[in-house]
A and B are shown apart, each in its own frame.
Chain A
Amino acid sequence: MVSEEQLIKGCVRGDRKYQKLLYERYASAMLGVCIRYSSSRPEAEDIVQEGFLKIFLNIKDFTGKGSFVGWMRRIMVNTAITFYHKNLKHNQLCDINGINESDIENPSPYEEDEFSHEELLKIINELPAGYKMVFNLFAIEGYKHKDIAEILNIDVNTSKSQYSRARKLIQKKLLDLKNVNKP
């Protein structure tokens, strides 16, 4: 098996063989990242495509500090954000009415096995585009609200409020799912 280091070196040289190897090794993981940021699978694949092109063109700038996968993920996330900005005018922003905070009880910790990836993805994808970005960046990627605000070009408080609303929405949906899943 070709080591990561060899892979990177090959890609820096621009060797097509190594580029393909790198793609084959990481494409699925990267799509797993991108799919959370996009409304559909084809869009996610577009993001992966753009992201990999960026990776191949800029791989010589990868300093070797930190994890290579993390670096690639960051590129993917940035690409996804670019897409989000580009498509902002196409995305219909629907307001979420009817979230009554009192509806949501304090749930017990969720078990990982309780939900499938598909179910969770569906929940994320059903979020309005702005919420989805904030939730992804904060909850999964672990960005700070300050950074998110900067990246998405929104106010810090917007980021925070959107996050809390997204969170509530998700919570509600998880509860619904749980009830459905329960016999």
Chain B
Amino acid sequence: MTHQGEHIENLFRKKFESYGTEPSKFVWENIESKLPATQETSWKILRRRTVVSLLILLLLLFIWQIYTNYYYPEKASLSANKAISQKSDSELVLEIKSKDTVIEKLPFSFIAKSFKKVKKISQNKSREENIPVRKKSYLNSLYVLPVDSNLYPDIKQPVAAFRVSINRGCPPLQVNFINESKEYRSSKWYFGDGGVSMEQHPTYEYLYSGIYIVRLQVFGADQSTAEMCIDTIEVFQSPQAIIGISQNTKVTINEPFVINNDSRKAKAYRWYFSDNTYSPDFSPVHVFHQLGTFPIKLIAYSEWLCGDSANIDIEVVEPKCKIVFPNAFFPNTAGATKGYYSKNDDLNNDIFHPIVIGCDVVEYVLRIYNRKGILVFETNNIDIGWDGYFHGKLLPQDVYIWKVMGRFSNGKPFMKSGDVTLLHKN
């Protein structure tokens, strides 16, 4: 189908084959920002960094040289003199006449070559007993090489050492640090939890659980330092004793009371009550026999026997008086029973009577009506209930209304009403 020629295709192809249009500038910037760093540039950076660090190193060396030459020349020569006067075998004090008139002094043996050279000379020189001690001269210089630290009795290297009174325990853990460092002038303690001390023998209290790395840094007379670490200060996790009832909770006297326990991270418990009894239970049941406010103490122990305690006061109060009635009963169909019932043994449920909880009833009137509103039973004796009979006849199965009024032994009056279903036994 070369219909109508390939006019359109040709037109567009020719037109767009080599068509170009300049993109905006930021396109390259975007590309560049997304391209990974080239090896070329990273090598350049590395080279630059090496040069810079070398320069810094050289500078530091230079400063050190100046420092040791101009700040401690007296000290060095003094100790050298002292050493020579002691005439110890281990000392190496060499006097070398320098060809130049410039002071050349090498502190310590930091160039191996010169060390060897000096050693060789020292073997020869050590045979000579008397080495003339010269005062510091600008024409002569001293090479002082300490072979033994005894060479400088007053510039001894400090040695850091310490021990601790305890290195594990419950929070708050009080630790005494005993500094046993040698040849030091001052010390600095890092307790591992951010605490710092400059004391010689500090005492530190760790409040929170964790493992702390204690670091002691001692400074010698000549600013040299030494360090020592100890990493075994372990402060155990502390349990949290929480009593699960609120302060001044009211508890009824002579009634068993369950005390909830909300403690955390604890493994063992001990409850202390005001009556000198204690319980190891998690959630003990206690009976209070006295009225008043009493403290309860809980101590919770973790597996490391770290303890935490909680206290709470409990108010022991008189019981609340209650009078309740059942909502159904089965009268004895054999005949009227006059309504006497036993408070403790009443499984028949053939007498309708109230149950009084907490205290006694001193005044009492119970009236029972049928649906028509006729009074079928009345009593003012709490010990007599209704047997379901009215005028010697058993009343039919039905719902009856009761109303009670009276007064408890604590003086509080009561008035209640309700209904009860009379059921016939089949």
A binds B: yes
Question: What is the distance, in angstroms, from A43's C-beta to the closest C-beta of chain B?
Answer: 12
Would you call A52 an interface residue if the criterion is a C-beta within 8 Å of the partner chain's C-beta atoms?
yes
Interface string of A1-35 (1 = CB under 8 A from B): 00000000000011110011001100111111101
B8 and A171: CB pair below 8 A? yes
Question: What is the distance, in angstroms, from B15's C-beta to the closest C-beta of chain A?
Answer: 6
A14 and B7: CB pair below 8 A? no
The interface stretch among B30-38, B151-159, B369-377 is: B30-38
Complex alpha-carbon distance, A48 and B251, angstroms: 82
A140 and B12: CB pair below 8 A? yes
Cβ of B355: which chain A residues have Cβ within 8 Å of it? none
From residue 12 to 44 of chain B, which have CB atoms closer than 8 A to chain A?
Answer: 12-24, 27-28, 30-32, 34-36, 38-41
Cβ of A45: which chain B residues have Cβ within 8 Å of it? 23-24, 27
Chain A residue with the shortest CB-CB distance to B5: A109
The interface stretch among A60-68, A91-99, A112-120, A143-151 is: A112-120
B28 and A32: CB pair below 8 A? no
Known contacts A139-B8, A139-B12, A15 near B40 by CB under 8 Å: yes
Would you call A53 an interface residue if the criterion is a C-beta within 8 Å of the partner chain's C-beta atoms?
yes
Q: Which of B15, B27, B36 contacts A48 (CB 8 A)?
A: B27
Cβ of A167: which chain B residues have Cβ within 8 Å of it? 8
Q: Which of B20, B38, B40 contacts A29 (CB 8 A)?
A: B20
B21 and A35: CB pair below 8 A? yes
Known contacts A106-B4, A110-B7, A112-B11, A117 near B19 by CB under 8 Å: yes
Would you call B89 an interface residue if the criterion is a C-beta within 8 Å of the partner chain's C-beta atoms?
no
Chain A residue with the shortest CB-CB distance to B4: A106
Cβ of B20: which chain A residues have Cβ within 8 Å of it? 28-32
B39 and A112: CB pair below 8 A? no
Would you call B100 an interface residue if the criterion is a C-beta within 8 Å of the partner chain's C-beta atoms?
no
Complex alpha-carbon distance, A110 and B30, angstroms: 40
A110 and B8: CB pair below 8 A? yes
Would you call B345 an interface residue if the criterion is a C-beta within 8 Å of the partner chain's C-beta atoms?
no
B32 and A112: CB pair below 8 A? no
Q: How large is the interface on B (under 10, 10 to 19, 20 to 34, 35 or more residues)?
A: 20 to 34
Complex alpha-carbon distance, A33 and B10, angstroms: 16
A120 and B16: CB pair below 8 A? yes
Would you call B9 an interface residue if the criterion is a C-beta within 8 Å of the partner chain's C-beta atoms?
yes
Cβ of B36: which chain A residues have Cβ within 8 Å of it? 14
Known contacts A106-B4, A107-B4, A112 near B15 by CB under 8 Å: yes
Known contacts A27-B28, A32-B16, A115-B15, A15 near B8 by CB under 8 Å: no
From residue 47 to 84 of chain A, which have CB atoms closer than 8 A to chain B?
Answer: 48-49, 52-53, 56
Complex alpha-carbon distance, A23 and B27, angstroms: 10
A49 and B27: CB pair below 8 A? yes
Chain A residue with the shortest CB-CB distance to B42: A14
Known contacts A20-B28, A49-B30, A53-B34, A29 near B23 by CB under 8 Å: no
Cβ of B23: which chain A residues have Cβ within 8 Å of it? 27-28, 31, 44-45, 48
Name the residue among A14, A23, A108 with the largest chain B CB count within 10 angstroms: A14
Question: What is the distance, in angstroms, from A88's C-beta to the closest C-beta of chain B?
Answer: 24
Cβ of A13: which chain B residues have Cβ within 8 Å of it? 38-40
Known contacts A13-B39, A32-B20, A117 near B13 by CB under 8 Å: no
Cβ of B10: which chain A residues have Cβ within 8 Å of it? 109-110
Known contacts A14-B40, A29-B20, A23 near B8 by CB under 8 Å: no
Would you call A152 an interface residue if the criterion is a C-beta within 8 Å of the partner chain's C-beta atoms?
no
B28 and A23: CB pair below 8 A? yes
Question: What is the distance, in angstroms, from B390's C-beta to the closest C-beta of chain A?
Answer: 88
Would you call A156 an interface residue if the criterion is a C-beta within 8 Å of the partner chain's C-beta atoms?
no
Cβ of B22: which chain A residues have Cβ within 8 Å of it? 27-28, 31
Cβ of A35: which chain B residues have Cβ within 8 Å of it? 21
Question: What is the distance, in angstroms, from B10's C-beta to the closest C-beta of chain A?
Answer: 8
Complex alpha-carbon distance, A20 and B31, angstroms: 10
Cβ of B11: which chain A residues have Cβ within 8 Å of it? 110, 112, 115, 120, 174
Complex alpha-carbon distance, A13 and B13, angstroms: 35
Chain A residue with the shortest CB-CB distance to B3: A106
B13 and A139: CB pair below 8 A? yes
Cβ of A109: which chain B residues have Cβ within 8 Å of it? 5, 7, 10
Complex alpha-carbon distance, A124 and B9, angstroms: 12
Complex alpha-carbon distance, A171 and B7, angstroms: 9
Known contacts A28-B22, A35-B21, A107-B7, A23 near B38 by CB under 8 Å: no
Complex alpha-carbon distance, A108 and B11, angstroms: 12
Chain A residue with the shortest CB-CB distance to B15: A120
Interface string of B37-70 (1 = CB under 8 A from A): 0111100000000000000000000000000000
B12 and A120: CB pair below 8 A? yes
A112 and B12: CB pair below 8 A? no
Complex alpha-carbon distance, A65 and B351, angstroms: 113
Give me 8 A-to-B residue pairs in the complex whose CB atoms sit less than 8 angstroms apart, sorted by A's number: A16-B38, A24-B28, A31-B21, A35-B21, A44-B23, A109-B5, A140-B13, A174-B11
New contact pairs (7) apart from A45-B27, A49-B30, A112-B11, CB-CB < 8 Å: A23-B31, A31-B23, A32-B20, A36-B16, A45-B24, A124-B12, A140-B13
State the 8 A-B residue pairs at the shortest beta-carbon distance, nearest first. A28-B20, A14-B38, A32-B19, A32-B20, A29-B20, A110-B11, A139-B9, A31-B23
